[in-house]
């Protein structure tokens, strides 16, 4: 048991999938895992452990933003001896360079955030995915016949902003889309020598205001979920 996760030692698998939304973690556990067991629900952040094709995998929410995923991923890595975290989530496209439903395998996360600097004294404003899980995801996507783009991503502290233009850091590092967690996850994994990746589904295009409807989301996110599970199975 850690400060923010109430699971007992041994109830969290070595590989964890982290969607942001607790209800998405519940959906994945109940629809894709065998014999899922709810192992933590502190603060409403749900963690389930079950098996996928005979191998143990945990699915647990990260919440939103660097402070939240920073806490949960750190405790998973240090208190539960997790070796690999795959973040699975959605992102907003900055331009027509990406389209709704596109799958992105994040190579690098760029951010203006001070998270990495003040947590671990990393001065970089762009951090790569950690370990070999990024390559495993690419290989797995090819095996499944899924089209996936290797991409940089803008990881932002901000969801709403006064200036609607594409932020300078996203232009600097050629980030076609934005989310709010990958940079924090990669920073923790780099500091601790762990494996971390991020797979994203493009859920909206910011300038055109296109978006995946609530009714479409279940079907839209299924390829990302299955890809993450198959990649997790290879390393679990």
Cβ atoms < 10 Å from Cβ of 116: 25
- Active-site residue flag, 157: no
Distance CA 154, CA 174 (A): 9
Residues in the chain: 236
Distance CA 62, CA 25 (A): 9
Cβ atoms < 10 Å from Cβ of 234: 15
Which residue, chain included where needed, has tokens 């990881």?
155
Q: What is the DSSP string of 127-171?
A: EE-BTTHHHHHHHHHHHHT---EEEEEEE-S-SS-S--SPPHHHH
Distance CA 185, CA 140 (A): 22
Distance CA 125, CA 207 (A): 25
* Residue 175: φ, ψ to 5°: -100, 115
Out of 21, 157, 163, 204, pick the active-site residue.
204
Q: Which residues are catalytic?
A: 204
């Amino acid at each position: 048991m850690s400060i923010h996760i109430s699971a007992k030692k041994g109830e969290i698998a070595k590989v964890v999938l982290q969607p942001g939304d607790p209800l998405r973690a519940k959906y994945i556990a109940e629809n894709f895992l065998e014999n899922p067991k709810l192992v933590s629900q502190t603060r409403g952040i749900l963690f389930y452990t079950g098996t996928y094709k005979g191998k143990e995998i945990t699915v647990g929410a990260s919440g939103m933003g660097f402070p939240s995923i920073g806490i949960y991923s750190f405790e998973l890595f240090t208190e539960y001896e997790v070796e690999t975290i795959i973040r699975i989530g959605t992102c907003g496209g900055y331009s027509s360079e990406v389209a709704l439903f596109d799958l992105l395998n994040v190579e690098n996360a760029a951010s203006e955030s001070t998270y990495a600097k003040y947590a671990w004294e990393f001065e970089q404003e762009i951090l790569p995915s950690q370990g070999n899980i990024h390559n495993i995801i690419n290989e797995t996507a090819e095996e499944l016949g899924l089209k996936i783009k290797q991409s940089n991503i803008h990881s932002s502290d901000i969801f709403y902003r006064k200036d609607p233009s594409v932020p300078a850091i996203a232009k600097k590092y050629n980030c076609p889309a934005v989310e709010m967690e990958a940079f924090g996850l990669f920073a923790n994994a780099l500091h601790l020598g762990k494996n971390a990746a991020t797979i994203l589904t493009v859920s909206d295009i910011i300038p055109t205001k296109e978006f995946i409807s609530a009714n479409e989301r279940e079907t839209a996110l299924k390829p990302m979920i299955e890809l993450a599970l198959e990649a997790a199975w290879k390393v679990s």
